[in-house]
Structure 1
Amino acid sequence: MTTFSSAGLSAELYYCRAYNGGKFWANTHCRERNSLVERIMTVPQGMPFDQQVELGRQQLNGRNTSPGVTRSVTIVQQHQASPTTSCDALDARVKHYDAMARQPQSGQMQDWISAERKKARDQQFRMRC
């Protein structure tokens, strides 16, 4: 999975499956839309939703990102947030992963949550939050 977390500049994109079988993309957890999580992708924060969905589709299909998306990611990663804001964002992310881990999830999803939580904690340590 491609990760764009540079100083907390990543967001989560959810690929959801409705109970009737339909699938859709969302930037909020699928349960908020009475749906099941098919997959969670990490995408650049601040990128327009349409571009995040395109990047999510590429990740879903196992393709590398296109040069246009890579340029957008580079621009987003050059933006530096204040340390306090980044620390707060990382703390919120860890709490979010903790909440996700308390929900019934597959083993694969629990492993993903654990890995993403570790990345956020490592970033906090590097930033001395």
Structure 2
Amino acid sequence: MAFRPRAVWGLLGWLLLVQGQAQAEAPGQIYRCRTYGGGQFWSEQHCQQHGALIERIESVPAGMSFERQVKVAEQGSGRSAKAVSAGRASRSEQALIEREAKARAREQARLQARCARWQAELERQQGYSRQKLTARRQEFIRNKQQFLREQREQAGCR
């Protein structure tokens, strides 16, 4: 059997790779727990071991102190909380815009209905004015027509 340096180096490289992967630390997890009384705390162990409920599980880098892991987890949740609140803000702004648009549409519909009623009343009064009536009644109808025209003009009816 001949000595093969390439095979030795290949075997040595493979061993180093496997050993490096074994030593590479997997990310850790910490738990955000909620007590039945409403309190909250972070834990490395499952919340059930403390008689509490899991509120959230955060992945954190292993190999650092628990306090540092908590800070990393809170920073990550802070970003997501800001994103959620930004989403809520945009949704609430969108809802506000939609409500305002609906209110404008309702007001426009009311104005159109009023204009239609005034126009119908004006046409009815014009029909009366063509009949044989007393001078006093003709003047009353003329004043009523003038009033209806002013109302339509003030409201911006076409």
**Normalized against structure 1, the TM-score is what?**
0.42
- Using CA pairs under 8 Å that are at least 6 residues apart, name the structure with larger relative contact order, 1 or 2: 1
Higher strand fraction (1 or 2)? 1
Give the number of the structure whose alpha-carbon radius of gyration is greater.
2
The normalised TM-score by structure 2 is 0.35
Which is richer in helix?
2
